[in-house]
Structure 1
């Protein structure tokens, strides 16, 4: 019995010394210098039947991801009556480059989730592996070297502040991250979003990645919205919480899950964390950003994408 090869980095037969990303269904354009940890053989590449076999010495990406199933139904997530703010839209996000085997920058350990190729539109956050782009709002910045392996954008560093309850950790009024879902047994966008929201809230308002307390910890939360939504032409699901913290105004957290726009359509998770109070971004910006998510290479700016799904 044969089994599908999980997504991961495998040696590039067309470019010795490099690895290329296999998304579970096809080879992508993403490469990096060859790693040094031996792993089982990866999928073959070549023009003949079955492709050429290659001896692999790559580091497999942690955790096989599951294919997101499509859910139906609808819920209208509003901005609590606030006017929708503006965010940049892609006016022609770059198409995926041809697989030349020279895509990785010299000296780089590989295409970091937050890497920004030269000439990339500064108003668009490009998630190459998941095949989507997100608009970067005015006054927000792309994080070039995030602590966690998540593609990240947030309010400008000039507006950062010491997190309530600690004098060693900086917080931002608004943060959005995107990543491929992994390490979960959940299979549908609804299950993934409902499972992820607790972790998203804790990371934003309870404790950071190195264990420093934030905002005096989470005292309570309430769910203010949840339901299916169309994202980049695919049906996903989002859950939104209002979080009350021990110190500071608390905030709003949202987990959005939907199938990737490329390859095996592995599930993608986008997390939103907005401070409450006058310094936080308007809550309606969450919906504006969701509507602005596009498949990579899609230059359309018209409606439909990200809008709530009719019953």
Structure 2
């Protein structure tokens, strides 16, 4: 006799490698729109299943929200879920008692085990000040440079520009420039000083932004361009910047910036940057522009339940 997977929080089937991890509520029969940081309180309360008509209306919005807020990884903006070989075991409920392979987020939103689209979060993002993208968990707002797109979220914020088909997988979409903020614990960084946190994150940032199959595999090499103290939103911070050389497609500049949240002074914040090394990409100086413009969000915030 086969037993159904019990209701509970499981790794989000729409999770994209390199983005801050999230969990989604499985109600025993389908994925709901309730998501949260691992072990944290839900960003959205569990909701009853929506009707097919309602589900169809929200599918496009859901796909965009999941992709933009979870998919920005340095210079990479991915619209498909799962790992590069399309089989991310971490995105499944327990295999022994439930569906063998829950659906992935293919731009239409999370799917039920039978392949039909389930509802996802279509709202709940914080209200951002004009010209800024707000990261509620970190208690900060990032400036949106002219011509860029900003997205706010309860567990991170992102700014991107210049979409194009990824060089190693044209089913995914990359960007010429991007920055994404989240509490350091979302990137599995638990260092207690900004310098240690930035130095611990830069290699992960480089590999997840310009490595992997969409760029031909692991990085060929890197060159450190900067490693220095900075002030961010009135807080002492630290940044490390690399030039990353990959195997396929444009090389890139990556930067990991770390500082304590100005909202509570205990949460470590990481901002990952990525900019392509091409003539049509933004100037690397935009990293400094965004860094200088980061400020405490008007709504305060800060803290993810896992302060450092």
With normalisation by structure 2, the TM-score equals 0.54
Q: 1:186 aligns with which of 191, 214, 237?
A: 191
Q: For 1:247, what is the secondary structure of its paired residue?
A: coil
Partner Cα distance (1:111, 1:231) in 2:
29
Runs of 4+ aligned structure 1 residues displaced above 6 Å come to none
Q: For 2:200, what is the secondary structure of its paired residue?
A: helix
Q: 1:33 aligns with which of 34, 45, 59?
A: 45
Deviations 1:115-174 (A, max 9, x none): 243xx444111122222111101111124789xx6422200xxx4211122222211001
Question: Is residue 136–residue 153 contact of structure 2 (8 Å, CA) maintained in 1?
Answer: no
Question: Is residue 31–residue 110 contact of structure 1 (8 Å, CA) maintained in 2?
Answer: no
Partner Cα distance (1:132, 1:232) in 2:
8
Counting matched residue pairs gives 188
Structure 1 match to 2:215: 215
| Equivalent residue runs for 1:166-245 within 5 Å | 166-182=169-185, 183-207=188-212, 213-217=213-217, 218-245=219-246
Higher-Rg structure is 1
Q: For 1:170, what is the secondary structure of its paired residue?
A: strand
Q: 2:136 aligns with which of 128, 131, 141?
A: 128
- Per the TM alignment, residue 247 of structure 1 is displaced from its structure 2 partner at its CA by 1.8
Structure 1 match to 2:163: 160
| Equivalent residue runs for 1:77-92 within 5 Å | none
Partner Cα distance (2:43, 2:233) in 1:
25
With normalisation by structure 1, the TM-score equals 0.54
> Structure 2: 5+ residue runs without aligned partners?
1-35, 37-41, 48-118, 300-308
Structure with greater helix percent: 2
Question: Is residue 31–residue 111 contact of structure 1 (8 Å, CA) maintained in 2?
Answer: no
> Structure 1: 5+ residue runs without aligned partners?
1-20, 22-29, 36-106, 208-212, 299-311
